[in-house]
Structure 1
Amino acid sequence: MDRGVAEVCDDALLTIGAFAARARLSAKALRLYDRLGLLTPAHVDESTGYRYYRAGQVERARLVALLRRLDMPLARIAEVVHADGDRAAALLDVYWADVEARVAGQRTLVDYLRGRLTERDSDVYGNFVVETVDVPEQVVISETRHLLAHELPAWIGASLGRLEEAARVCGGVTAAPFVAYHSDVSAESDGPAESCVPVADEAAARAWSERRGRAWQTRVRVEPAGRLAYTRITKAQVEYPQILAAFGAVEEWIAAQGLTVTGPCREVYFADWDAAGPEDPVCDVAFPVR
């Protein structure tokens, strides 16, 4: 087609009905996209309120429709369609990585629920390898909160970040950070949970706590030496409630071995969370035992 003719065609105004047919969308969807700023009409008649679109907007309309087929929320679609090519593709990649992580976690949850529904929990727990490890006495700085399950991920990341920063003046981090659960954290129960970072210098840690710790509700304590029964899980499996299967597997193993739980269960975060993929091991679900 002659370039001049193409430009004229792209510049032509179409009624919302004609444009909807060409874009293979409903008029209702176009009105919604307009309200959200995803696809604004080229012209709105002031007297009638009728919307008109240019033929050149069809590509944007179809892009929005395709992104919706990925179940992408409209707010995130707005980010994609308003970005340039490389940035838009990067935003799509981030969204899809989130989807894959969610699906991987849901797959684990389905297996767990299937076992619960058929009263074959042991079949599910058999997917986890449980081992023991001896850990030395540790000085830890910690932060405690009462919170529900949906609040937990954000708080864990933020609190461990604060404590790891504080560890710089406490002789440095000496072992993997962990989160101890002193009571159940769920949709109805608020714990508390305690974020812990092992540090090298107890005196420096106590001095730091006196200076700043109270503002963060932190404390310094000595974690006794002991043995942990644990299973290693992936980033996808950390998602609640999928992680419950890992806790159940360790508890069943402890009972089968005739061991006794001696302290609060915990999640030990030994890997770089941000750099890990959904199937990368990042966490040990553990119970102190004797």
Structure 2
Amino acid sequence: MRQTLTSETQAELIRTAHALADAARPVTLRHFRTGIASDDKGSNAGGRFDPVTEADRAAERSMREVLARERPEDAILGEEYGPKTGTSGLTWVLDPIDGTRGYISGTPTWGVLISVADEWGPLFGLIDQPYIGERFEGGFGRAFVQGPRGRSDLRVGPVRGLEEATILTTFPEIGTEAERAAFRRVADCARLVRYGMDCYAYALLAAGQVDLVIEAGLQPYDVQAPIAVVTAAGGLATAWDGGPAHGGGRLLAAANPAIHAAAMELLAG
């Protein structure tokens, strides 16, 4: 059973999450489209380029400084600086730049991912896109986006069949050979497939623009904020077999149970 958080604690966690995003925004923007150097972490299977920049590291450092000041009792799991233990039962899961390949290419599909979780998964999450100025949030009864057009509610789109669906993923070469074959079974049934979206794909799903996001080879810091935002907007976000996905691996996010079930059946072969 999940721990019960008071309304005051929930409000504090929401405030802290926004403070983290506010801290990371100027750091990421300072280096964006400047030709910043990148190193290859070499952590991807198959030798695919896995870049990291000083913007990634500096943005995570700025967020950790906020947490040290505001929530020192909480644990942290960050992509660049790993885990920090805590005593509160809550963990902040941070991806300072999700989509570093897009970031160094100058595309605005990267984002800052922030979530707070207990041992059962994310409770609240933000997908922040600093360059566009959009911030998507979900959890604790909240689901909305704040951006250039002001604030609006997040709600997944209407029920559509798979033959009418738009599917997003990041890489055409998704996962392993078997995972690529599974993805193709779903993609071949859809009306439209688009690539290269990184975390922005989940924001678009929560905003009702697309129907499915299918990815593999993910880490906890890649998925926890998107799971919080998508589910708060009325969607589903599970592993490919329907189980919990907050630990990473394969993620299937869907606008409704019907299209989720249809995609899951095809992924299973």
Fold match (TM-score > 0.5): no
TM-score, length of structure 1 as denominator length: 0.23
Question: Which structure's CA Rg is the greater one?
Answer: 1
Query: Is the strand fraction higher in 1 or 2?
Result: 2
